[in-house]
Structure formats: C-alpha cells, structure tokens
Structure 1
Amino acid sequence: MNEENKPKRDELRPTVGQGSAPEPEAEAPPVTPPGNADDGRRGDDTYVARVARGAGISTAGQGIGRVLGYVAQVAVARLLGAQFYGFYTLGVAVVNGVHIVSRFGMENGVVRYVAHHREHGDEARVRGTIVQALLITLAISLALSVVMFFGAGLIADRLPKDAPEMVMVLQAFAFVLPFFVFMSMTAWATQGFQTVTYAAYIQQFIRPGLFLLFVGACYLIGAGIVGVIAAYALAMFLAGVAGLYYLKKLFPPLFDRQAQTKFETKALFGVSVPMSVTQGAQYLNNFSAILILGAFAAGSPVGIFNAAARTATFLTAVRFAFSGIFSPIISGLHARQDREEMGRLYKDVSRWIFTGAFVLFLVIVVFAPQVMSVFGASFGQGVTALVIVAVAQLYSSSVGPAPRMLAMTGNQNFAMIATSVAAVTGVVVSLILIPRYEILGAAIGMATAIITENTGTMAAVKWRLGFWPFNLAWLKPLAAGAIAATATYAITLFVILPGGPIPNVMVFGGFLGLLFLALLFLFGLSDTDKEFLGAFWNVAKRYLPARFRGGGENRG
C-alpha cells in the first residue's frame, strides 16, 4: 500500500478546518497530532473510555427516551382503552414494517461508510454517502406511503371482521411513514461521525418528548386515535428537522453546493441490500407475533400483548446505548485490521450490556404483576407473556452487539442468514400457537425468534471472527443478581407500601438495583471495568447539579 493511501489515524475525527463542529465535552477522542502514532489506547483516550463516554451519553438518552416513550404508551392505552390501543398497536406494527423496507438497509451503510471515508479523510465520499442514503430512502418511503394509503383496505381485510377501524388507522399511518424514515436516517447519519450524542437527542429526547406532549394535548381536546397518530407524525417530522440541523453542525460541507461529491453506489448497496433483508427479518422477530395475533384476535389481545412486549423491550435499551458508538469504532478498527482490540472490546462490551440488562430483567420479573397493572386492570392477563419475552430479551443482551459486529466487518450476509432463519422460525411457531393460546402463543413465538436470531449471530461472530462473549467474569453479575433479587423478593413478602404498584416498583426496584451494584463492587472489578466506570461517571456528572459533581472533573 502506498504511503499516501494509508489510513491516517489522526483523521479518525476531522479537525475544525475539515468542517467538523465542536462537540459536547468528553464526547469524542481528541485529534492525534500529525506524525504521532495513536493506537487508540493513549492516556484516557482508550477504546474503553470512548465506549464508556458514548454509552454514558446514549444511556442517558435511552433511559430518558424509554421512560418518555413508556409513559406515552401508558397514556395512549388509558386514552384509547384496550381495544383501540390494540388497533393503534397494529398500525404501529405495519408502519414499522414499511419503514424497514423504506430504509433499505441504508442506515448500516451510512454509518459504516461515513466512518470509513472519514478514516481516510475523504470528505467528497462522506458527503456522497449521506446524500445518497437520505434521498434514496426518502424516495422509497414516499412511494410506499402511497401504496400503503390505497392498499389499507386490502390489509384490513386480512383482519377479523370486528376491526373495520383499521382502514382509517392504516391510512393515517401512511402519512407518518416519510417523516419516520426522514427522522431515523438523519439520526443514523450522525452516528457515522463517531458520536451518539445527536442520535440520542433526536430519538430519545426530542421525538418521545414531543409525542408525550402532543398526546397530552389529545387528552385535553378529547382527540381519538387519529389525533394520536397525527401527534406521532408531527413528533417525527420535528425530530427529523432537528436531525438535519445536527448533520449540518457535524459536517457543514453537506449543505455546501460548491463542495465536491463522490458517490460509491456499489459499495453502499453492497452493505445495504443484505442488511435490508436482515432488518426485515429482525422486524418479523419483533412484530410477527403482533401481526399474527391481530389476524386472529384484533383489539384487546393485541393491546395487552404489546404492553407486555414493550415492557420487556426495556432490556434492549442497554444494548442500543452501546451499539451506537460501538459500530463506528469497530468499523475503524476493522479498517486498520486491529483484531486483538476488536475481540477484547467485544468481550467487555457484551458483559457490560448483560450486566445492565440483568438489573432491569430482575426488576421486571420480580414486580411483573404490578408493572402490567400500570396500563389498566385488564392488562393483568399479560404477566406471563411479559416474563417469557423478558427472558428472551435478556438472552439477546447476553450475546452483545453481535449483529453490529458482523455488519461493520463485512460479514453482513451472515447476519442476514441468521435473522432470516429466526424470522421464519418465529412466524411458524406463532402460526401454530397463536390460534389456540393467543397472548401466550404470541409471547412464545416472539421469544423463539429472538433466541434463534441471537444464537445465530453469536455463532457467526465466533466462526468468522473468532470472538466469544463469555468468560468467568460473567459469574459475578449472575451471583450478584441472584442474591439481590432473592433478598428483595423476600422483603416484599412482608412489606407493602401504600399508594399502589408504582411506589412499590420504584422503591423496591431501586433497592434491588443498589444492592446489585454493591455486591458487584464487593466481588471485585476488573481493570477495564474500573476504566469504564470512571469514564462513564465523568459523563454522568454532566447531568447532575453542580454541587454534586465535585472537583477535578475530567472533561476528556
């Protein structure tokens, strides 16, 4: 390789002269001075520290976003009732499916190749990648929106005869689709610049915050299901506008008509096409049970199962918090062929994801009846479904960001195969069980798909890259969780707080989490655990009042 074509490590993040914008402090690593070798582990600018900073910012976003989204779902369920909440849930499932098709896997391509071209200092190809990804997905979404609007009757005909409202619901969601795609693609594009801050702002603060605000307005004016869907669309649109603003902040040449643009269509589609199949299969893993349940029992059963599944999906917040920053870092490491660092990072990140998800899992399982009662009295039927899906989501957290590992290292076809097999398996199981068991059958079908997919992607990472997520260090969070859950459950047998399920879940769930954390420290932390927690805490302190931050904060 010629010297001039070698990847320059000082170009991992552009300088201000290259069109970068100042980012929040402690967000991304500083630029290495030209001529200095940087192996990614100098000072506190290690890959562990970068993951911790990214995960810290994204965790704040995921935590707040998930809470806002969950509160909004509870509000919608109480506003519409179980039956119409079920219709709304089916509409969300359909628009999410069409949204996957509209993205065409471009979200993976834009992250990978923005990071890759920045690694080589190629601004023209960075601009071309972003422009192509945005325009192609927007064009597809507009076309499919028209198809969805005029095909709503055909879709509704596949549902039980007691669901005539679904035509109106699906037509309303057809107007949501372009805004949904526009918002998500701008958010994904920002992650190619090795920052998750702006994606967190868009998807975890702005969109759910606006939706909750607009749902509150629906309460005040007495709007029905169409008003809720309109609120959904407006929140997406405004979040997308914010996404464009952040893209301009990160990469001003994107909006400079004089800037050079180079398109790498073949490379972009080479990643995007197989990953679009993968994303479609993952969609089926998450939504096929809801769609099949809706085909046999639209209305209340769909709403109850969705409430259980969404609650269990809280566990995925931890994985998503890490995946945003993990993906471009792995892409950069792969470009430099640093397999040792890739394997070490994958193992550590997988354990951290599991540890965070395990705490949420224990709270959900111990307090499952109280959690489901928050949606309303009729939602108690979903307790068993909640536990089943939560077990599957915990397993998916245990394998870490395996699909992202494959996508960022040129092994996206193996992710496609694993998720496709899982999707077919989940559909078959759902078709067999849902007609007889309804909500329980849907839970088993979804859990089967999730477990099959993650087993396949984990096996592919081991086969293709030689990396395995598990080691003896996993025994510590397992032991801490078992002790904390047992102690908390024993206390709840004798102590019940007044005020209903919410105070009990918050107080005793908080106690479980603190006891779990204390036991982890008691059992001892590894060097990378300590490094991660130190960098993570530096980010967390930025969200605390000034009097709690202390002195000597490392601004990174």
Structure 2
Amino acid sequence: MKETFKKAAVAFSLQIFGASLSFFFSFVMARMLGAEDVGIYLEVFNLAFLAALAGRIGLDNVILRFGAASVEAGNYQEAAGLYRKSRQIIGWGAGLLSLGLFLLAPWIAGTLFSKPEMALPLRLMALSVLPFALLVLYTQMLRSINEVRSSVFLINVSPTIGSLILLFILAPAYAVNGAVIAYTGGMVLSLIAGVWLWRKAAPHIRQLDGSYDTRRILSTSLPMFWIALMSLLMNRADILIMSSMVDSASIGIYGTAKRTALLMALLLTAVNSAVAPRFAALYSQQDIESLSRLARLTSALLALGALPVLLAFLLFAEPVMAIFGSEFTAGAPILSIIAIGQYLNVATGSVGFLLMMTGHEKLLRNILLLSMLINLLLLYVLIPPYGVIGAAVASMIGTGLLNVFSAIAVYRKLSINLIPLPDRLLMRWNSPH
C-alpha cells in the first residue's frame, strides 16, 4: 500500500507539471489565435484523436491489463510477445487511418461541417494520428512494468514541452496551421523519447522473441475498444456535434472552458497512473480485501482533494476565464456547469479502471453505452435552442450518470462501495447481470 501511494505521489507531481504546461499551452494559443482559430484547432484535434483511438482498437488497455499480470508473474516471454504483436497491429491500423483522414480532409471540412477553412488544418493534424497512437502504446507498456514516472512524463509532459516550443515559433506566422504543426511535432518528438525510455527500462523484455495469441488479444481488445470509443464520445461528442451547428468562435470559448474544468480530473488521472496496474495484479491474485481497501481509500482522498477546485470554479469562474482574453469570459457559466460533472467523475474514484482491470469490461461497455446514448440525446435536444450552454448541461448530466452507474456496478460485482449511499439502496438500483 505504501509503495502504491509513493508512486501515486510521483505521478501526481508529474501530472501537476504536465497540467500546468497544458494549461499554459491553452493560454498561449488562446492569446495568440483568438476564439475562432482555437475553435478550428479543437475541431480538427478531436477528429484526429478519434482516428488515433480507432487505430489502437483497445490494445493500449490490453497491454496494461495482460502485460502487468505477465510481468507480475515473471513471464517476460509472454509480455514480450504481447508488446510486439500490439505494435504491429497499431502501426498498420493507425497508419491507414492517418492516410484516410489526410485524403478525406477537404470533404470532411467542406461537406460535413460546411467549414472549408478546416481542410488544411485537418490534413496537418492527420499526420499526428500514427505517432500519437504509438506514443500511447509505449506509455502503457511502461506502466505495465511499473515505470510510473516514465509513463506519466511521456504522455503528460513530453508532448506539451515540444508543442509549446514549436507553438512560439510557428503560431505568429502561420496562425492555426502553425499550432497544428506544433502539436504534431510534439507528438513525433515524444514518440522518439518513448522508444528510448522503453529500450532503457526493459532490455530484459524487448530482446525476447515471445509470441502471443492474436485471437486472445483481439477478443479482449475489441470490447475495450468499444469502451474507449464510447468514453471518447462521452467526453468529445459535444464538440464533434457542435462543429456542424455552432460557429468556430463559440466552440473555441466552450472548448477552453471545458479544458479548464478538466484540470479537476488531474487528481484522478494521477492516481490512475499508479493504481490501475495494482488493481489488475490484486485481482489476478484474488486479493479482494486489499483491492477493496485500495479503491475505497483512493476514492475518499480524491473526493476531498477535488472539493477546493470545484468551489474555485463555481465562485470565480469569470476571473478564471478572463486570463485567456476578454472574449473568453463568456465561457464562465460553461466552466461552472462542466466543473460539477467533473467533480462527480473525480469523487467516485477509479471506477472505470477498476471494472476494466478486474475483467468486467463488457459491463463497463454497457454502462458507457447507456450513458453515451443519454448524453447524445441531450446534446441533440439542448444544443439547437441553447447552444454551448445546452452542450455544457448535457455533458454534466452524462458524466454524472456514467460515474454513478459505474460505482453501483463496482458495488454489485466486487462488493466495494465507493459512493456514500446505503448498501441496500445500491442493491435495489442495480439489477443482477
């Protein structure tokens, strides 16, 4: 337990640094580009992010689950085979999707979104799909061997450092196109760093000629892919849907407010970096008592730690948004609304990782599907009459429902109560699966 929280402390420190850099990146981009170009950047970023996720087809979570278990058991040959096979699949999948997005960019921008000015930024952003997908792969490989510090640095710190340096150089001359090139360049540089970190951390694994059953990989990765896809739609469908309904300037204001609210989830992300491999290992050893103790303790600490941030975003939303520029103060109510949903996300703890790491990914998929459908319905109902405020309300409700449903499922499947409600009420709300 002490070792887990020591790693969590290291991960949290790096997360704080990475989040500060990311926040500074958003600040600089907003100041340099203005709301409209920020909106275009966020629109093409979300499309590329979706393509990178599809290219991974859930393999990043398979690596974390099976890789951590193999390493814990000392079966390095099996771990080596899993890593090698996953690299091959992701390389081909993400590479083809990157090419497809590049070629279809004019049609997507002009026909789907009626924003032809998005075509060139989208083509440039398409070049980031493959390096980003591989970067996530190497991050999870490092996490699976308990290299928490390296993995957090690689995914949260390294890309932003490179992107920031390039942003200062390119954005003044090339505006939104320069910002996109800066992001893509940061991903390429981070991927190079990831390969180097892996070679340094795991020479005993990377030199082995292990093999792994492709059918076993895909039978687990595909359900996890649908989980990841639905999770992405839960978090990013608002901007994807608004792209065809709302002007880019409004999307820029909304996206900046949302990114600011997501700072609250920093605590959860930092803790997940340390506890997710531990969840998988404890469950594989059938040590449910230790698993329950770890999950409940982390949930309680997260709820307390995020409360001051929530209060700040509720009471001082307008001054917070003003730091991005006067036109961004219109996003103050958006910040407050989304912050409420994010607090529910943090306060329920690592429920998603807990379900995935204990073999309940299909149940999580069903919960995500229900929450996603509710979220999409609310977005389509609320955006036309209320615009970005409607999108914020829909996202808050969707996020809250997802985490409450997941916490109830954790109680029913693992007998771990992560929310302050009576056990009898939880049993009544969640029917047996």
TM-score by length of 1: 0.74
- Per-residue deviation at 1:268? 2.3
Say if 1:108 and 1:271, in contact at 8 Å, map to a contact too.
Answer: no
Match of 2:184 in 1: 233
- Number of residue-to-residue matches in the alignment: 421
1:141 counterpart letter in structure 2: A
2:288 counterpart letter in structure 1: R
Q: 2:360 aligns with which of 404, 407, 411?
A: 411
- Percent of pairs identical after alignment? 24
Confirm whether residue 59 of structure 1 aligns to residue 8 of structure 2.
Answer: no
Q: 2:48 aligns with which of 81, 87, 95?
A: 95
Say if 1:158 and 1:295, in contact at 8 Å, map to a contact too.
Answer: no
Confirm whether residue 190 of structure 1 aligns to residue 142 of structure 2.
Answer: yes
Q: 1:367 to 1:159 in 2, by over 3 A?
A: farther
Name the SS of the counterpart of 1:296 in structure 2: coil
Say if 1:195 and 1:325, in contact at 8 Å, map to a contact too.
Answer: no
Match of 2:133 in 1: 181
| Structure number, greater radius of gyration | 1
Confirm whether residue 345 of structure 1 aligns to residue 294 of structure 2.
Answer: yes
* Bigger helix share: 2
RMSD after superposition = 1.5
- Per-residue deviation at 1:104? 0.9
Which deviations, in whole Å up to 9, do the C-alpha atoms of 1:381-435 show, x marking residues without a partner? 1111111100000001111001101111111101111112111111110111111
1:379 counterpart letter in structure 2: F
Say if 2:106 and 2:116, in contact at 8 Å, map to a contact too.
Answer: no
Match of 1:375 in 2: 324
> How far apart are the structure 1 equivalents of 2:333 and 2:285?
47
Q: 1:141 aligns with which of 94, 116, 120?
A: 94
Q: 2:160 aligns with which of 193, 199, 208?
A: 208
Match of 1:11 in 2: none
Q: 1:334 aligns with which of 256, 279, 283?
A: 283
Confirm whether residue 224 of structure 1 aligns to residue 187 of structure 2.
Answer: no
Match of 2:78 in 1: 125
Say if 1:372 and 1:380, in contact at 8 Å, map to a contact too.
Answer: yes
1:123 counterpart letter in structure 2: Y
- Per-residue deviation at 1:371? 0.6
1:71 counterpart letter in structure 2: F
Name the SS of the counterpart of 2:358 in structure 1: coil
Say if 1:160 and 1:297, in contact at 8 Å, map to a contact too.
Answer: no
**Runs (5+) with no aligned partner, structure 1:** 1-46, 473-556
Q: 1:360 to 1:158 in 2, by over 3 A?
A: farther
Match of 1:319 in 2: 268
Runs of 4+ that moved beyond 3 A: 157-161
Say if 2:242 and 2:251, in contact at 8 Å, map to a contact too.
Answer: yes
> How far apart are the structure 2 equivalents of 1:174 and 1:206?
20
Q: 1:364 aligns with which of 304, 309, 313?
A: 313
2:50 counterpart letter in structure 1: G
Say if 1:346 and 1:400, in contact at 8 Å, map to a contact too.
Answer: yes
Confirm whether residue 250 of structure 1 aligns to residue 207 of structure 2.
Answer: no
- Per-residue deviation at 1:271? 2.5
Name the SS of the counterpart of 2:74 in structure 1: coil
Q: 1:399 to 1:324 in 2, by over 3 A?
A: same
- Per-residue deviation at 1:471? 5.1
TM-score by length of 2: 0.94
Match of 2:426 in 1: none
> How far apart are the structure 1 equivalents of 2:349 and 2:216?
27
> How far apart are the structure 2 equivalents of 1:210 and 1:363?
30
1:421 counterpart letter in structure 2: L
Q: 1:83 aligns with which of 25, 28, 36?
A: 36
> How far apart are the structure 2 equivalents of 1:430 and 1:134?
36
> How far apart are the structure 1 equivalents of 2:65 and 2:33?
41
